[in-house]
Structure 1
Amino acid sequence: MRRTAIIIHGAPNGDEVYNGHVPSPSNHHWLPWLQKQLIVRGYEAHTPEIPNPHEPHYPTWKREFERYEINEESILVGHSCGGGFLVRWLCDHPHVTVGKVALVAPWIDIERTRTTEFFNFHLDPEFPTRTRGTALFNSDNDGRSIHTSVERIMSTVHHIQYREFHNYGHFCVEDTGTIEFPELLEFVTT
């Protein structure tokens, strides 16, 4: 069975998407670094580029995600909206078992400020039992909508590890000052 890893980016704003000086979401922040680290460790690692990421549409994200082999060895990593997407996808697929799951600053748009249907789903409190370990990475100085999402996930979902960081913001290169994320790499590979 192939060891795969799928790393899902977030939903940047339109200005960022259409700025030619900003890397595409799948090639920004720590995502390419993590992909490379997993490749050298023998994983078939992917960072799919979701079309129109600034306008999240669940069927589109699902279609792009499901192009890849997902099995009980698969590592799944999601940043922001990508983390929220993984939560929904895992809740919507109760018969699927995967490897490690890392949710980095997951956003599920509790107040529906940018999405309508994207996060309309039942939050299954037991979805981590179908993984080899699920961890949520949160920073003490991230935005209110992320903290609201994290609070909802942590108060509803069982068997999830919580890892808090100081002054990591939204885990973007502008916040952390680096493209490396060794704590995340350690979690998904051990």
Structure 2
Amino acid sequence: MTPGIINRHWYKWLQAELVKLGFDAIAPALPDEKEAKDSIWIPFLLNNIGVAENDILIGHSSGAMAILRVCEQVKVKGLILVSAGYYDHDVDQLWNWNKIKANAQWIEQFHSSDDPFTPVNSSHHIAKEVQTELVKLGFDAIAPALPDEKEAKDSIWIPFLLNNIGVAENDILIGHSSGAMAILRVCEQVKVKGLILVSAGYYDHDVDQLWNWNKIKANAQWIEQFHSSDDPFTPVNSSRHIAKEVQSTYHEFNDRNHFLCTEFPDLIDVIKYRCGLS
């Protein structure tokens, strides 16, 4: 947590709460507090603290800008930016937004429009640059890291999505592979605006798991589905079966593999279409 002046603001409280949750939460006091120079803070965070790939970095104000700089150089689990922003004289400082997006599994950002220190417009700009294209369209887009990633058990993922994330009726859920199957399960229980399923499918040993297709159709206003016939992980026949059961708008390709791509413009196109933005 940066800048780490532990007795200020909410820093000490947050550190204590994170420790209660089992995190190894540190709030190092950064040198050169008043000037907050990149030339001092960034080497300190990289060399003295030793930021690692499984770390979540939390930054407030100049500390938020510092962890963005760190994320230009190293991979992290996630970033939480509070009151991140800059002034006009900072705009000539180039940022590698693509590198930041690639190096962070997820990024959350908080700002208040009445912030007297960091202009809200600059925070909006950062949000557009480091998050997804959905932010540019005005969506509140989140990509939460789900627990139990390797096993992807319904018994863990579904309660997490329903209780921790709080899926609501106006939400659009986008799921890839096992994530696509998870949002189908969620939609058996709650109403949503729409579902986008990418590489959704199952194997023969899964067919005995009953699905309430009628409930899913009733709970989703619309369903879009993407699959590629050369997918090596999820059989195309099972995806076709899902499409038939939920009556999705089905897009099948023959050269997209498991959609392990860095950009996916088709998703933006269908969201624009479904939300009347195109």
Deviations 1:57-113 (A, max 9, x none): 21211232122232222010000000011112212x1xx32112100011334424x
Q: Check the 8 A contact 1:143/1:170 in 2, yes or no.
A: yes
Taking structure 1 as reference, are residues 101 and 69 closer, same or farther at Cα in structure 2, changes over 3 Å only?
same
| Corresponding residue for residue 48 of structure 1 | 144
Report the AA paired with residue 53 of structure 1. E
| Corresponding residue for residue 38 of structure 1 | 134
Q: TM-score, normalised by structure 1?
A: 0.67
Distance 2:238 2:195 in 1: 17
State the shift of 1:138 in Å: 0.8
| Corresponding residue for residue 57 of structure 1 | 153
Residue ranges of structure 2 left out of the alignment (5+ in a row): 1-52, 55-73, 78-100, 107-128, 274-278
State the shift of 1:52 in Å: 2.6
| Corresponding residue for residue 187 of structure 1 | 270
Distance 2:255 2:144 in 1: 28
| Corresponding residue for residue 8 of structure 1 | none
| Corresponding residue for residue 211 of structure 2 | 122
The answer on 1:108 being equivalent to 2:206 is no
Structure with bigger helix share is 2
| Corresponding residue for residue 163 of structure 1 | 251
Q: Check the 8 A contact 1:137/1:163 in 2, yes or no.
A: yes
State the shift of 1:34 in Å: 11
Q: Which has the larger radius of gyration?
A: 2
Q: Check the 8 A contact 1:100/1:188 in 2, yes or no.
A: no
The answer on 1:74 being equivalent to 2:171 is yes
Residue aligned with 2:197, SS: strand
Report the AA paired with residue 139 of structure 1. S
Q: Which of 133, 140, 145 is the matching residue for 2:234?
A: 145
Q: Check the 8 A contact 2:148/2:156 in 1, yes or no.
A: no
Residue aligned with 1:51, SS: coil
Distance 1:110 1:34 in 2: 40
Residue aligned with 2:156, SS: helix
Distance 2:76 2:197 in 1: 22
Higher RCO, 1 vs 2 (CA within 8 Å, ≥6 residues apart): 1
